């Protein structure tokens, strides 16, 4: 009976400690859907985004590694070289978001100059001259190496909608996307 009581205590303590460790372990993949507001002007600031906490970063931090990608009108920048001081890169891959289960270890493009961007403008959308809508192309997945060079994210643009219109031109665009960010530094989503 005494052995059974000691064994019961050991099992309960072991079970409780396993539960405690499981609860303390952070989830390695952060997944979400986000809508960000982007200026409809080639002369305005970029809207900067960070995957690790799903946040828009203040433009005053544009010269830091606190952001992963930026958008202005339809132009993407990644935080690398001409785009920023970070070690970020991007691949615009053909495929679906759900079928993209890992990030490649090589093949990333970087913002080498202001005209040579990692993500070529026009490569990810179709523009309708009548409705003035930028529609994301189906079957395109953005894969990012983040600004710290140590994490990966995948992203699918779901929609680009016009914001308020002045005359015939929108003032802003709303970019809606879903993403998965690998917080533990592996390439698996």
| pLDDT tens-digit readout, 96-154 | 999 999 999 999 999 999 889 999 999 999 998 887 788 999 999 999 999 999 999 99
| pLDDT tens-digit readout, 11-32 | 444 444 444 444 443 469 999 9
The pTM (predicted TM-score) of the whole model is 0.83
Whole-number pLDDT of residue 25: 38
Q: Looking at the predicted structure, is the pLDDT value of residue 8 above 50? A: no
Whole-number pLDDT of residue 150: 96
Backbone angles phi, psi at 46, to 5 degrees: -75, 150
| pLDDT tens-digit readout, 68-85 | 999 999 999 999 999 999
Look up tokens 């691949």; give the residue.
91
DSSP 11: H
- Dist CA 97 CA 103 (whole Å): 12
Whole-number pLDDT of residue 133: 83
Confidence band, pLDDT 50/70/90 cuts, at residue 168: confident
């Amino acid at each position: 009976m005494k052995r059974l009581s000691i064994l019961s205590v050991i099992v309960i303590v072991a079970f409780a400690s396993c539960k405690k460790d499981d609860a303390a372990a952070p989830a390695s993949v952060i997944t979400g859907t986000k809508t960000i507001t982007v200026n409809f002007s080639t002369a305005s600031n970029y809207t900067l985004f960070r995957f690790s906490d799903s946040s828009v970063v203040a433009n005053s931090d544009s010269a830091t590694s606190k952001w992963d990608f930026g958008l202005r009108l339809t132009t993407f920048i990644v935080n690398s070289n001409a785009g920023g001081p970070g070690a970020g890169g991007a691949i615009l891959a053909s495929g679906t978001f759900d079928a993209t289960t890992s990030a490649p270890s090589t093949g990333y493009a970087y913002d080498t100059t202001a005209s040579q961007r990692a993500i070529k403008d026009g490569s990810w959308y179709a523009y309708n001259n009548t409705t003035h809508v930028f529609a994301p192309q189906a079957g395109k997945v953005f894969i990012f190496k983040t600004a710290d060079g140590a994490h990966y994210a995948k992203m699918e643009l779901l929609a680009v909608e016009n914001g308020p219109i002045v005359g015939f031109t929108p003032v802003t665009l709303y970019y809606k996307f879903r993403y998965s960010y690998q917080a533990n530094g592996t390439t698996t989503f």
